[in-house]
Chain A
């Protein structure tokens, strides 16, 4: 009954065909099966946001997602945010504003911010903070993270 399923995931515009047991989460698929360890495990229970990835353009928690349920989905992880060596402007802002210390929550923060910007529902500083509150930072880089995101939002992205 508990046999492996064959699933196709399009991750960072690369197609992966995997044979996985149903109980493997998307997070563990990325980290243990595909060596895409940029997506982080901080709680494994949907309480920290470190595992945030974009699935069909929407930010989700990969720890509370089974890979079998995402067959044929388009996934973007932190490894797919830059274009080759060229950093995404939001990544540049994170470096410039020192928006991380230990760096462990950073991939989740960046993916979450990209998802938020795409949602186009958070405009003011207060709204952005609220919308980003699903991503914890224990180093206390919060104000730098929000500054980096606001800087990026205020840039002209042509």
Chain B
């Protein structure tokens, strides 16, 4: 019997039972004995100094243990490098409670620790802080004169700045047969995972800590804590098996981690610090971004000129960048390009990667311009994209490692029924509603990073795979188990995957859609190494049938090594263990082959087809149905992968039509800091969504040929919605989110 492949199987989430019964434990839920609670106080001005802090009333409250401010913050390193986490942009990282300076509204300025959550919260309300406010500026549009080129650093290696101009854009644009010139504004957004950021620190004594943290990187937080607080790496264990959503917010250690660990070390106590929802609006966010595109095409529909410029906000202390303008020329060949990306520093916290950072912003502009050109040329929008299809990445003049975007277009269009679309604008009605159909391309790059994993056959015969990686709801736990099971030829339930723990082999932070490829490849490599070692040990068994047999002549199946040409010849894992008398363990790193990878452009692609209905009199918008076709290499688990794409599509609906952080630039703060007024979609907003995975083989990107799918579902969805709204109404609304009243 040949074991069926585990890769490609629609396995239910392995932790499903824990999640539906409430037994999955998140960072703020470890109810250790003698736990005390910290409540954070945030600044209420955007810029200036604290000139007095009155703690008298708060300290009188029964149950208050300590109040930490800059005045009694322990002596800690002040230099930037110690605070720089794996995702720190170039600049000087924020250091909580460092001094009396206020750099942004909502800055954490004190921690009240008490014997109960309620007492800490109450006492925090009694701390009176006197400020001396200085002039601040938080208005992007009014500060464009201060736009500057971003600083380069580690972050810009992974998220490259725009390539240099090509050809002669100005001339080509003027000579173009048709042009599209548009401006765009995107509001800031906050990640708002439903789980609040929380840390529970267990004080183990002797400089040792166990830290349960909400994070997308256990290793990242371990290193951060050890560096900042001068602890040995081995004495800091960061654990987060369940993470209630990340979307980028957990890529950097957030300030509750610092405050909780600080309090625990100072008080020598077990401490929990949890943010409230309002505080979830006081750290990184998707930056407000202004964009300008100028696209030109000739009469045959070929693009001739492409300019894409973006100006985004950053903080005064770090240069956060994302890839906004690079995608157009990766999707479509053009001889003449002009790309620019600049930053305006404002008195706000540093922005932070948020699902499909940059891509979901830039593609809106690119795909809107493409849509407009198609209408001007009287070419079907899909046909127009096929005319401009890139067989090779024109922006870097490299081949794609694989690219099945054309199949995405064709299969997506077929399933959606694009052929039956009425090409006329504002010409299809259903009752009171205008109907529109729009489409968009999507692209997201494949990032390669090193990672480690270990594999072990225990003396009891269990297969244990380890990685520090988290599972933020992406299905990582399940698919990593599948990858290991597939390689070792066992059932997925035979694998014990230990993860979400910094004691496990080092993993990069979980983001950028690279976890499957990066960590999955390390696990695959570890499993291959384990097989080699097992085979070697099998040969040591007296009268082993494999003495003169080579590894490629056997298969691993159901915890046995079986001779391919004669399956009746095999050795059980148990026999190997019985003979060897020790567990068999390997550890393996996956180091990307940079020389090979460099020769290719590596990207996942998608095509979204969307139908909207817009109430003709009232403007109300519904995305009635949508199909997204995705080419992302090997799909490890179609069930969880489909959910990832559905999630991305739902985020697309949210980005195009719902969520925005309202920044009051007079007060210098985000003012709708709650889930009642920060509108993410409700069930009543979501209608028919469909997902197609197009077959795509990629032997370049990584061992698994898997590209990652966290962002790609969002990338194409939001622009397709905007294009569908144009088709329905004849109106181009280029500000996201689109408010329905703009269609009145």
Contact = CB atoms under 8 A, between A and B. Distances in A.
Interface string A48-84: 1010000000000000000000000000011101100
B557 to A, nearest CB: 28
Contacts of A133: 682-684
A42 B195 contact: yes
A110 interface: yes
B118 A28 contact: yes
Interface string B21-51: 1111110110100000000000000000000
Interface in B613-668: 639-640, 642-644, 646-651, 654
Nearest to B713: A140
B22 A42 contact: no
Nearest to B714: A140
B26 A104 contact: yes
Contacts of B29: 31, 37
Contact of A136 (B22, B475, B682, B689): B682
B674 interface: yes
Contacts of A126: 684
Contact of B16 (A48, A95, A137): A95
A128 B686 CA distance: 12
B12 A98 contact: yes
Given A42-B194, A94-B16, A138-B192, A32 B31 contact: yes
Contacts of A107: 20, 22
Interface string B669-711: 0000011100011111110110000000000000000000000
Interface size, B (range): 35 or more
Contacts of B31: 32, 35, 37
Contact of A38 (B15, B21, B683): B21
A32 B117 contact: yes
B478 to A, nearest CB: 10
B13 interface: yes
A158 interface: no
B648 A140 contact: yes
A102 interface: yes
Interface in A87-146: 87, 91, 94-96, 98, 100-107, 110, 126, 128-130, 132-146
B683 A39 contact: no
A100 B19 contact: yes
B675 A102 contact: no
B723 interface: no
B196 A39 contact: no
B245 A141 contact: no
Nearest to B15: A103
Nearest to B247: A138
Contacts of B19: 100, 103, 106
B193 interface: yes
Contacts of A106: 19-20
B17 interface: yes
Which among A24, A87, A91, A106 has the greatest number of chain B C-beta atoms within 10 A?
Answer: A106
Contacts of A137: 194, 683
Contacts of B118: 21, 23-24, 28
Given A133-B683, A145-B683, A104 B21 contact: no
B17 A87 contact: yes
A45 B646 contact: no
Interface in A10-56: 21, 23-24, 28, 31-32, 35-48, 50
Residue among B277, B675, B681 with the most chain A CB within 10 A? Answer: B675
B195 A104 contact: yes
A95 B20 contact: yes
Contacts of B647: 101, 139-141
A103 B674 contact: no
A141 B21 contact: no
Given A94-B20, A103-B19, A40 B244 contact: yes
Contacts of B644: 101
B474 A101 contact: yes
Given A101-B474, A142-B650, A95 B245 contact: no
B260 interface: no
Given A48-B675, A104-B26, A81 B21 contact: yes
Contacts of A38: 21-23
Given A77-B22, A94-B16, A142 B117 contact: no
Interface of chain A, main secondary structure: loop
Interface in B98-122: 116-118, 122
B276 interface: yes
B643 A101 contact: yes
Contacts of B12: 95-96, 98
Contacts of B642: 98
Nearest to B272: A32
A47 B674 contact: yes
B472 interface: yes
Nearest to B679: A136
B242 A142 contact: no
Given A102-B194, A136-B682, A138-B245, A143 B689 contact: yes
A69 B674 CA distance: 26
B675 A82 contact: no
Most buried by B among A41, A95, A103, A143: A103
A135 B21 CA distance: 17
A141 B713 CA distance: 13
B450 to A, nearest CB: 26
Contacts of B649: 140
Contact of A144 (B21, B243, B646, B681): B646
A42 B276 CA distance: 8
A141 B193 contact: no
B265 to A, nearest CB: 23
Nearest to B675: A47
Nearest to A2: B62
Contacts of B639: 98
Contact of A40 (B21, B195, B674, B683): B195
Contacts of A144: 643, 646
Given A95-B16, A136-B680, A144-B643, A79 B245 contact: no
Contacts of B22: 36-39, 77-79, 107
Nearest to B678: A47
B643 to A, nearest CB: 5
A11 B392 CA distance: 63
A96 B24 CA distance: 18
A20 B274 CA distance: 21
Contact of A102 (B28, B117, B473, B646): B473
A48 B682 CA distance: 10
B394 to A, nearest CB: 33
B196 A98 contact: no
Most chain B CB atoms below 10 A, which of A42, A43, A104: A104
A146 to B, nearest CB: 6
A36 to B, nearest CB: 8
B20 A91 contact: yes
Interface of B: 12-13, 15-26, 28-29, 31, 116-118, 122, 192-196, 242-247, 274, 276-277, 472-475, 639-640, 642-644, 646-651, 654, 674-676, 680-686, 688-689
29 contacts: A28-B118, A32-B117, A35-B31, A37-B31, A39-B22, A41-B196, A44-B276, A45-B674, A45-B676, A47-B277, A79-B21, A95-B16, A98-B12, A101-B473, A101-B643, A102-B245, A103-B18, A103-B242, A104-B26, A104-B195, A107-B22, A110-B20, A129-B683, A136-B680, A139-B647, A141-B643, A142-B681, A143-B688, A145-B683
Given A100-B20, A104-B245, 20 more contacts: A21-B118, A28-B118, A42-B675, A43-B674, A47-B676, A87-B17, A91-B20, A95-B20, A98-B643, A101-B473, A102-B246, A103-B15, A133-B684, A134-B682, A136-B675, A136-B680, A137-B683, A139-B647, A142-B681, A143-B688
In order of increasing CB-CB distance, the 5 nearest A-B pairs are A38-B22, A102-B473, A140-B650, A104-B244, A140-B647
